[in-house]
Chain A
Amino acid sequence: MAAAPAKSSFSLGRVVLYTLLVFFCIYYLLPLYVMLVNSLKPLSEITAGGMMALPQDWTVAPWLSAWSSAQVGVEATGLRPYFLNSIIMVVPAVALSTIVGALNGYVLTKWTFPGATILFGLLLFGCFIPFQMVLIPMARMLGLMGLAGSVPGLIFVHFVYGIGFSTLYFRNYYAAFPTELVRAAQIDGAGFFRIFWRILLPSSGPIAVVCIIWQFTNIWNDFLFGASFSDFDSQPMTVALNNLVQSSTGVKEYNVHFAGAIMAALPTLLVYIVAGRYFVRGLMAGSVKG
């Protein structure tokens, strides 16, 4: 807690303070408001200069169109197939990188060996590299593996570049876990996996949530890998949304674009609203380690 001299609750300072706080709330909410109201009005109301107004004719037609009939790329499929692609991509990628990260964190803290810190540093550096540096060889590698332009290819890529962060989370979490418990279990004859399964895993709930949320948000929101390594029918949601908005043919259906944007935002936004605390913890652990 920083300085907050106890003032009476109706001083001028407090009024200014709350005015500023509300002003910034409006600033952050404004784009969401714009997306929401404009996704529920006919196109003519937007083009007539009514972007900030509430809809006069409420309609869900833009949502239906964005979901199942809007022109995305060459086909008029709506965003539905791409939303499904993203889900099929995100679930295994999150699961795999989290499991591997948990095991890595366990080894790096409880079965440590000379050079473990350097190894961890090298692993961590991999989280921060500009991925432009791996695009060209990865494209070739996916081709060699027979995964080019496919959802499994994207799963693989996200798994590979997700390991660093999930290892970071579990390593820092397990570092604070009492090593004596592990040693005691060892003396009792428990093996490597048994100790992990019985002793560490049961108390890993919070960090697993942090890790899953972080990976889910990152992988769902990714654009670069999706744009580089997918074909027309394996595109994730972000790439399809961009195609929907950038398509140069025909009338620009702003209301459909806004509906599509909310659809792309909804899964991560829901996770944030339900488990925001863990999301923030993950953000912080990703920057302020320890």
Chain B
Amino acid sequence: MSISETANPRGSVVDRLRDALPKIVLSPTVAIVAIFVYGFILFTLYLSFTNSRILPSFEWIGWQNYENLFRIRAWDTAVSNLVIFGVLYITICCALGLLLAILLDQRIRAEGFIRTIYLYPMALSFIVTGVAWKWFLDPGIGIEAVVRGWGWTTFEFNWIKDSQMAIYTIVIAAVWQTSGFVMAMFLAGLRGIDNEMLKAAQIDGASTLALYRRIVIPQLRPAFMSAFVVLAHMAIKSYDLVIALTGGGPGTATELPATFMYSYTFTRNQMGIGAASAVIMLMTIAAIIVPYLWSELREKK
């Protein structure tokens, strides 16, 4: 790297320092990441094998926390909720995002303005989204009450109070917040598609529908991949929205792994079990993120 190779003995310390300067500048970040990301991961991993309760303890108990964890009903609920939520959230966001992107790609007027409207929820906090939807879906004052007020007195929409259906209200609010973002990703993908191929297919008499199904959508694969990775990792980390919308309730009906971890660690004083649940969250995310980062960073070269 360096071009200053002078043999001046008095300058050599300065020179060496100058050569090392880039690494010195980078070193605080390296230290921070080493301690606060990887060191902390190891610490929590270790705690998950100890009998920590209200405070960390260092007494090794093997796999016992993990064995207990999988016997806890609330964890079972949290994991099956995550599956329901994750599958619906990713599928609906992708479908809606693709639909909106295709609609916006038809040379329409005021595209920028409409795009801005579709995407603004992404700038909001999940807490704000949660508050808005919490009262909007509340049967006492929200749409149920409004529609009844309009004269349809038997109308019922009380999913948020119904422990069977409450998890779907989380899906509704989360889709509202993120689908515009997925739309933006697909729109960028659509804009990158080669025009020549489309024109050729059009001249051959392909219908618009066939055009999309055969040529456009297959070319959106990278966008689908990115959308999947982003949405999956957001689903696993979902915490704020649940807290604001349902607080995990009614009962434990909308508990997710993230809320489970928090309550076991900080309110139920079962830190070892909380740590074990965090480790499982990390493993799940790593299984999605690591291959993705690997391929992204390798393509670069």
Contacts and interface: CB of A to CB of B under 8 A. Distances in A.
Interface of A: 1-5, 17-18, 20-21, 24-25, 27-32, 34-35, 38, 46-47, 49-52, 100, 103-104, 107-108, 111, 113, 117, 119-126, 128-138, 140-141, 160-161, 163-164, 167, 186-187, 191-193, 217, 220-224, 227-228, 238, 241-242, 245-246, 254, 257-258, 260-262, 264-265, 268-269, 271-273, 276, 279-280, 283-284, 286-290
A30 B133 CA distance: 10
7 contacts: A3-B202, A4-B107, A133-B41, A136-B43, A137-B39, A140-B56, A163-B33
B296 A289 contact: yes
Nearest to B52: A136
B127 interface: yes
A28 B102 contact: no
B222 A288 contact: yes
Given A5-B202, A113-B23, A265-B124, A132 B278 contact: yes
Contacts of B230: 286-287
Interface of B: 1, 3, 18, 21-23, 25-26, 28-30, 32-33, 36-41, 43-44, 47, 56, 100, 102-108, 114, 116-136, 140-143, 145-146, 148-149, 176, 180-181, 184-185, 188, 190-191, 193, 195, 198, 202, 208, 211-212, 216, 222-223, 226-227, 229-230, 233, 236-237, 239-240, 243-244, 247, 258, 261-262, 265-266, 271, 274-275, 277-279, 281-282, 285-286, 289-290, 293-294, 296-297, 299-301
4 nearest A-B residue pairs (beta carbon): A111-B22, A221-B125, A272-B123, A49-B149
A21 to B, nearest CB: 6
B124 A269 contact: yes
B32 A160 contact: yes
A241 B132 CA distance: 12
Contact of A276 (B32, B119, B233, B281): B119
Contacts of B297: 117, 120-121, 124
Majority secondary structure of chain B interface residues (helix, strand, loop or mixed): helix
Given A117-B297, A130-B236, A28 B278 contact: no
Given A18-B108, A21-B108, A283 B122 contact: yes
B1 A111 contact: yes
A104 B136 contact: no
Contact of B131 (A49, A111, A228, A241): A241
B16 to A, nearest CB: 13
A258 B131 contact: yes
Contacts of A262: 128
A217 to B, nearest CB: 6
Given A3-B211, A132-B281, A123 B29 contact: yes
Contacts of B193: 2
A161 B244 CA distance: 23
Contact of A136 (B18, B37, B136, B274): B274
Contacts of A284: 184-185, 188
Contacts of A136: 43-44, 47, 56, 265, 271, 274-275, 278
Contacts of A35: 131-132
B25 A107 contact: yes
Given A34-B132, A137-B44, A245-B134, A107 B26 contact: yes
A260 to B, nearest CB: 8
B158 to A, nearest CB: 15
Contacts of B39: 137
Nearest to A192: B21
B127 A223 contact: yes
Contacts of B142: 51
Contacts of B274: 136
Given A49-B148, A191-B18, A283-B181, A28 B271 contact: no
A2 B243 contact: no
B124 A221 contact: yes
Contact of A283 (B43, B124, B127, B184): B184
Contacts of B176: 27-28, 31
B3 A124 contact: no
Contact of B212 (A3, A131, A264): A3
B118 A280 contact: no
Given A111-B22, A130-B285, A257-B135, A223 B239 contact: yes
A241 B131 CA distance: 9
A98 to B, nearest CB: 13
Given A20-B103, A28-B120, A137 B40 contact: yes
B41 A129 contact: yes
Contacts of B226: 287-288
Given A2-B193, A49-B141, A49-B145, A28 B37 contact: no
Which one of A104, A113, A242 has the greatest number of beta carbons of chain B within 10 Å?
A: A242
A209 B157 CA distance: 43
Given A123-B33, A163-B29, A220 B125 contact: yes
Which one of A51, A131, A133, A284 has the greatest number of beta carbons of chain B within 10 Å?
A: A133
B282 A133 contact: yes
Contacts of A111: 1, 22
